[in-house]
Amino acid sequence: MPTSSQHTIARPPGPPSERESAEIAATLSALSAPSRVAILFVLREGEIGVNDLAARVGLSQPATSQQLRVLRQLGWVAAERRGRSVTYSLHDPHVAELLDAVRDHADHNRTATSRVAS
Structural domain includes residue 77: yes
Q: How many domains does the chain have?
A: 1
Domain membership of residue 33 as a residue range: 19-117
Structural domain includes residue 9: no
Structural domain includes residue 80: yes
Query: In whole numbers, what is the pLDDT of the chain averaged over residues?
Result: 88
Q: What is the pLDDT of residue 2?
A: 43
Structural domain includes residue 10: no
Structural domain includes residue 52: yes
Distance CA(56)–CA(36), nearest Å, equals 12
* 99-115: pLDDT as tens digits: 999 889 888 888 877 66
Structural domain includes residue 72: yes
Structural domain includes residue 24: yes
**What CATH number does residue 25 fall under?**
1.10.10.10
